[in-house]
Chains A and B, each alone.
Chain A
Amino acid sequence: MNKDILEIKNLNKAYPKFNLKDVSFTLKEGTICGFIGRNGAGKTTTIKCIYNLIKRDSGEILYDGEDILKIETKAKNEIGLLFGGVDYYPNQKIKTIASVTAKFYKLWDQSLYERLLDFFDLNEDKKIKQLSSGMKVKFGLTLALSHGAKVLLLDEPTSGLDPVSRDEVLDCFIKVSELKLTSILFSTHVISDLERCADEIIYIKNGEIYCQSSVEDFKANYLHIEGLATDLSSEQKENIGHLSIHQGKFFGIITKEQKDDFPDYVLKEPSLEEIMLFIERGNENEKTPF
């Protein structure tokens, strides 16, 4: 059983129009954990609190069993952090930023850094402003992966990447997690990324943790349902989440407990995206601005 490398206990942070409320979860050594929720649900705020970029109001954040604030430098040496792409010092070259960054890390691996540059097809002589948004993400990942981090906190690391690059990045996550026991917490809106590589899901909704579980357990609570729309009673329609009717067929999501209420329909394992839509939109099937 892998130990908990990161423990968040009852984390609270209040803003005038938003609160993180008693956020608690754990990140196990060597696991890849998807951190999902809608825009503004509190993912970035939570990640910033963990790294002490945002001052928490209350709660505990333990890194390897110790209060992260008491071992801030050590913890930051062992945690890699990335918010989207690199957007600092646009007029500096990649090699300049890398050389400065390398000085700060005890376990900077220059050879790995060079391999990652090569893998991501990054030219060290390019300035940051000359990189595409996808390349900026790749450079940020290169920096985050090159210092032997035990934990990676990645806020939307795959946004702006083309499908091939995204696949390469997710491959990197799987390899680094398996080979180096690196734990990865990454937030994303590309839910298919989670299906590809996540071991666990942490779902945050309106500043509160909705659930933390393995991807399989999370999916096991829901079922994708489809069939002929004409067969559906109005009561059944109300009980199906994220219901869409198209060309006489309907598709939707139900919970495992509702299974017996729909005996004559096709039931399948749902995608994570369908479940997310069900959790967020529930049975508000008619809600539309048109």
Chain B
Amino acid sequence: MKKLLFKELRLCLTPQAIVFCCLSSLIIIPSWPSIVAFVYTFMAFIVIFPMAIANHDMEYTAILPVRKKDIVKGKALLAMSIEIISILISIPFALIKVFFINGSIPATDTYSDLGINLVLYGIVLALSGLFNLIFIPWYYKNPYKTAKPQIFTTFLIMVVMISIVIIFVSIPEATTFVNTFSGIALIVQFISLFAGLLLFLGLSALAAYLGGKRLEKIDL
């Protein structure tokens, strides 16, 4: 696993993908739905997977001493790494927004939003897991074509994100609740984060398993 991740980070993680990861810093923009900053993370895969095809990455990995199905584990680990890096990059910008920017904006200039809290990060983790679960097994059905699964999965994640924003804009009480850092609300935040993390790990592991099953049937 470590070797595969090393290989993916050394050979497949392109500078463009890192730029997309860094775009989660846009969470700092005042009066902007915080969750939208993470949609760019999924755009990184639009660069990584076609580049991997162009570089004959599959052919190279297949001759290494790894089981055929484990080739998918490498890519799943890369996807998870990008998603985690993106979240980590966003944290300092989120803290700056919470402590230095939000307070300086009049309440009339802001609107209900999911905000910046542990629920946000729980949802982002769960959405990342969902992306991996749909995209990775679909991609490995035919690992030489990437457009359809990428466009569909990214579009789906955008629709889910917009829906979440609409829910919180429509129900200001929900915004107030998830942005309360005490009592039962704080417990709910921690539970959301933990549930999101579990979903992220579980769905990504399932994605790697299903993708591996599909790749085993493919003739390289």
Q: Is residue B106 within 8 Å, beta carbon to beta carbon, of the partner chain?
A: no
Q: Is A100's CB under 8 angstroms from B7's CB? A: yes
Interface-located stretch among A84-92, A175-183, A211-219: A84-92
Closest chain A residue, CB of each to CB of B216 = A55
User: How far apart sit A137 and B56, CA to CA, in the bound complex (Å)?
Assistant: 16
* Chain B residue contacts of A88, Cβ below 8 A: 55-57, 59-60
Contact between B68 and A53, CB atoms less than 8 A apart? yes
A51 vs B63: C-alpha distance in the bound complex, in angstroms?
8
Q: Mark A30-70, 1 if CB is under 8 A from B, else 0.
A: 00000000000000000010011111000000000000000
What 0/1 pattern do residues 177 to 220 of B give for CB contact below 8 A with A? 00000000000000000000000000000000000000011111
Q: Are A73 and B63 in contact (CB under 8 A)?
A: no
- A99: chain B residues at CB < 8 Å are 10
Please name all residues of chain A whose beta carbon is closer than 8 Å to the beta carbon of B59 when the two chains form the complex.
83, 87-88
**Is B159 interfacial (CB-CB < 8 Å)?**
no
Instruction: Determine whether the beta carbon of B217 is less than 8 Å from that of A55.
Output: yes
A140 nearest CB neighbor, chain B only: B63
Task: Classify chain A: how many residues form its interface, as a range.
Answer: 20 to 34
Q: Contacts of A54 on B, CB cut-off 8 Å?
A: 219-220
Residue in chain B with minimal CB distance to A72: B67
Check: B148 CB closer than 8 A to any chain A CB.
Answer: no
Known: A54-B220, A87-B56, A104-B3. A92 touches B11 (CB 8 A): yes
Residues of A within 8 A of B216 (CB): 55
In the complex, chain B residues 92-143 whose Cβ is within 8 Å of any chain A Cβ: none
Instruction: Please tell me if B66 contacts chain A, counting CB pairs below 8 Å.
Output: yes
The answer for the CA separation of A197 and B157 in the assembled complex, in Å, is 59
B62 touches A53 (CB 8 A): yes
Bound Cα distance from A130 to B206, whole angstroms: 40
Query: How long is the Cα–Cα vector from A92 to B57 in the complex, in angstroms?
Result: 12
Q: Are A81 and B3 in contact (CB under 8 A)?
A: no
* A105 on interface, CB distance cutoff 8 Å: yes
- B90 to A: closest C-beta gap in Å: 30
Min CB gap A156→B, angstroms? 15
Bound Cα distance A100, B66 (Å): 13
Is the CB of A77 closer than 8 A to any CB of chain B?
yes
Q: Is the CB of A104 within 8 A of B68?
A: no
Please give the distance in Å from A48's CB to the nearest CB on chain B: 7
In the complex, how many angstroms separate the beta carbon of B199 from the nearest chain A beta carbon? 30
Question: In the bound complex, do residue A76 and residue B64 qualify as a contact, i.e. CB atoms below 8 Å apart?
Answer: yes
Nearest CB of chain A from residue B203's CB, rounded to whole Å:
26
Minimum CB distance partner of B7 in chain A: A100
Mask, A88-127, CB within 8 Å of B = 1, is 1111100011011101110000000000000000000000
Q: Contacts A72-B67, A103-B6 hold; do A48 and B55 have CB atoms under 8 A apart? A: no
Q: Please tell me if the beta carbons of B67 and A100 are within 8 angstroms of each other in the complex.
A: no
Whether A101 lies near B64 (C-beta < 8 A) is yes
Q: How far is the CA of A100 from the CA of B11 in the complex (A)?
A: 8
A54–B217 alpha-carbon span in the complex (Å) = 8
B68 with A52: CB separation less than 8 A: yes
Chain B residues contacting A103 (CB-CB under 8 Å) are: 3, 6-7
Residue numbers in A under 8 Å from B66 (CB-CB): 73, 76, 104
Q: List the B side residues contacting A73 at CB < 8 Å.
A: 65-67
- Assess A89 versus B64: contact at CB under 8 Å? Given A48-B219, A54-B219, A100-B10: no
How far is A101 from B66 in the complex, measured between Cα atoms in Å? 11
Closest to A80 in B: B63
Q: Which residues of B contact A77 (CB under 8 A)?
A: 65
Identify the A interface with B (CB < 8 A): 48, 51-55, 72-73, 76-77, 81-83, 87-92, 96-97, 99-101, 103-105
A-B pairs with beta carbons under 8 Å apart, 14 shown = A53-B62, A54-B219, A55-B217, A55-B219, A73-B65, A76-B65, A87-B59, A89-B56, A99-B10, A100-B6, A101-B64, A103-B6, A104-B3, A105-B65
Contacts from B to A (Cβ < 8 Å): 3, 6-7, 10-11, 55-57, 59-60, 62-68, 216-220
Additional A-B contact list (15), CB under 8 Å, known A92-B11, A103-B7: A52-B68, A53-B62, A53-B63, A53-B68, A55-B218, A72-B68, A73-B67, A77-B65, A82-B63, A83-B63, A87-B56, A89-B57, A90-B55, A99-B10, A104-B66
Q: Which 3 A-B pairs have the closest CB atoms?
A: A76-B65, A88-B60, A88-B56
